A and B are shown apart, each in its own frame.
Chain A
């Protein structure tokens, strides 16, 4: 190439104004089994009073949309443009600088250009231009506009359910365009014509019906907690209290339901129970607010609001002073970014003050809710608990910053402080894959189901690649995180990409290391595995 800079005229002469025949604006999605989510079950769509409940699948040619579906979507865009100033700005200000384009894990893993965040947003922006801008109305495709067609709608479904709303892209955008917000709104639009996925719809319906994603009824919830109490006694010799629906407790504790039915979440639950007992926290669980997760936020702002409301309603009913939330990801996005404005301020509650250390959590003075890692880190900092780190010596740990706690609420130091205070062997993954720049598990925002596994393995590749690095370099055998979705979806990701790495929550280490009054000599960890002994496979590696 010559070094001579071309003149503007020369440059202009090279621009081809003809839209290419193969250009991106012509959508055509082939739904390949294993790479998309199945549609919402009609009875649950109906239960939630969402429109167009019917039996259909994304791979069907005919999606059985209402006759006026286009009108519904265009009106829906209009309504949202009026309601959310951010949407209008995001539609108008992107300069296509490309800073975000190679930051999305789905693009990094697949190379599919429509997974570049800028192009993902363009899928909506092109319709916006066509129907809401003068340039688009007059110039059409030259101005990057295109008409809304069924193929476009199918493409929306494919790509907006291939975005985990992780916000990694927005970190790099000089204008702060948040593609996750665009995804949230497009999913809302799709729901207006009955286009949704079951892994989101059914948990939301269950949460309305019984209080949690799996539809576990209050007595089932109580049984699970009691079972955990018994198991903890077997492991430690200490019988703890785990009050449920106790009026007048100081603190309401809300955790994701997977903590009491999922593995490895369950070991985190044992950790919470041990800790609360040891510091004598006056707290209660709730059956009505037995779900911290809020899949409503993956459907619409309205559903998010209604599910979130239960936490305050229950705090009021039980007469608690403030709230602690467990290890969950998107729950914290909702709590941190929306709760105060959609359902707050919670004037009937008090600013959280740790009864053990006296620390006042001023940052939560409006929501009145703090993260369990904030609570525990404060206890450790003030030397209020005794810890034996060697009980976690069989683990070589790395920490995955879950997207929502890291990027949506900046919870970066506390979990690391807890891990370093409870474990001897902690190794960070490379800097550009952790903290604010963390790579998503590839399965968030309702995508974490087996029917969609291949897409998840693709999206999770950048995360797994960084884990593999510390696995090979330091013999890391445990990936820690503070998100229930991660705890469910990282194990299969590891199984495929980095076999030999297990997954755990941070409070599992707390439960292991915690020296409890009256405890038996601990020979096994909360998993029932012998403590302190590195696994043979790892000894070889060292």
Chain B
């Protein structure tokens, strides 16, 4: 069964997935982000590593949307402030397809049904849609925070014009 295969190979798949995600940042960054060690010295690497595993396990086990949202959020918030175009910011989800492929192709066997495989692709597509929603929320947050900063500044200027500062 496909699910069994994926469960058995979780760490391999997650590691490959992370490698593909980190490579989107270029060589130096990828080396740094993949460094295991202190989570406070390398928050991006550590958050991605922890959450990639959580996301993948959730996806192939319960596939609960709420849980997935929570696990996605920390990753997406980081991608949302890294000067990436939206398509690249959410692209990390599609890289999961790429990370899974070798497992399925290598171990091609009759026990993996086409149906199961297509279902998995469908779940990843759903995950991508969810990611896009979260990305959009993060971008709205950024804009809201930006507007609040401006308002705060404008309030001080107004007070100054009123003569109250």
Q: Which residues of A contact B (CB under 8 A)?
A: 32, 34-35, 102, 107-113, 116, 214-216, 220-221, 223-224, 227, 260-263, 430, 432-433, 449-450, 453-454, 457-458, 461-462, 465-466, 469, 492, 495-497
Most B C-beta atoms less than 10 A away, residue of A107, A260, A449, A450: A450
CB pair A223 B164 closer than 8 Å: yes
Q: In whole angstroms, what is the CA distance A224 to B164 when docked?
A: 7
Minimal beta-carbon separation of A527 from chain B (angstroms): 16
Residues of B within 8 A of A35 (CB): 83
Known: A454-B142, A461-B78, A492-B148. A216 touches B160 (CB 8 A): yes
Known: A112-B29, A216-B160, A216-B165. A450 touches B40 (CB 8 A): no
Please report which residues of chain B, range 21-47, place their CB below 8 angstroms from some CB of chain A when the two chains form the complex.
25-26, 28-30, 32-33, 35, 38-44, 47
| B145 contacts partner chain A, Cβ-Cβ < 8 Å | yes
Q: In whole angstroms, what is the CA distance A164 to B68 when docked?
A: 36
Known: A223-B165, A430-B40, A450-B150. A113 touches B83 (CB 8 A): no
Known: A224-B165, A227-B164, A260-B165. A453 touches B42 (CB 8 A): no
CB pair B160 A220 closer than 8 Å: yes
Q: Chain B interface secondary structure, helix, strand, loop or mixed?
A: helix
Q: In whole angstroms, what is the CA distance A112 to B82 when docked?
A: 9
Q: In whole angstroms, what is the CA distance A260 to B164 when docked?
A: 11
Known: A261-B159, A450-B150. A461 touches B44 (CB 8 A): yes
A-B contact count (CB 8 A): 106
Can you sample 25 A-B contacts with CB below 8 Å? A32-B83, A102-B32, A102-B42, A108-B43, A109-B82, A111-B28, A113-B26, A113-B28, A113-B29, A220-B160, A223-B165, A224-B165, A261-B159, A450-B150, A450-B153, A453-B145, A458-B81, A461-B43, A461-B78, A465-B39, A465-B47, A466-B40, A492-B145, A496-B145, A497-B77
- CB closest residue in chain A, given B147: A450
- Other-chain contact of B43, A113, A454, A465 (Cβ < 8 Å): A465
Residues of A within 8 A of B157 (CB): 214
- How many B residues are at the interface, by size bracket? 35 or more
Q: In whole angstroms, what is the CA distance A221 to B35 when docked?
A: 51
CB pair A102 B164 closer than 8 Å: no
- CB closest residue in chain B, given A431: B40
- Other-chain contact of A465, B30, B35, B40 (Cβ < 8 Å): B40
Minimal beta-carbon separation of B18 from chain A (angstroms): 14
Q: A-facing mask of B124-149, CB < 8 A → 1, else 0?
A: 00000000000000000110011011
- CB closest residue in chain B, given A107: B32
Residues of B within 8 A of A465 (CB): 39-40, 43, 47
CB pair A214 B156 closer than 8 Å: yes
- Other-chain contact of A108, B41, B77, B81, B141 (Cβ < 8 Å): B41
Known: A109-B44, A458-B82. A261 touches B145 (CB 8 A): no
Please report which residues of chain B, range 73-126, place their CB below 8 angstroms from some CB of chain A when the two chains form the complex.
77-78, 81-83
Q: In whole angstroms, what is the CA distance A223 to B164 when docked?
A: 7
CB pair A454 B81 closer than 8 Å: yes
Q: In whole angstroms, what is the CA distance A419 to B40 when docked?
A: 24
Q: In whole angstroms, what is the CA distance A111 to B21 when docked?
A: 12
- CB closest residue in chain B, given A453: B146
Residues of B within 8 A of A260 (CB): 165
CB pair B29 A220 closer than 8 Å: no
Minimal beta-carbon separation of B66 from chain A (angstroms): 18
Residues of B within 8 A of A220 (CB): 160, 163-165
- Other-chain contact of B160, A34, A215, A262, A450 (Cβ < 8 Å): A215
Residues of B within 8 A of A496 (CB): 77, 81, 141-142, 145
Residues of B within 8 A of A433 (CB): 40
Residues of A within 8 A of B78 (CB): 109, 461
Q: In whole angstroms, what is the CA distance A113 to B26 when docked?
A: 9
Minimal beta-carbon separation of A467 from chain B (angstroms): 11
Minimal beta-carbon separation of B141 from chain A (angstroms): 6
Q: In whole angstroms, what is the CA distance A107 to B33 when docked?
A: 10
- CB closest residue in chain A, given B151: A450
Residues of B within 8 A of A215 (CB): 160
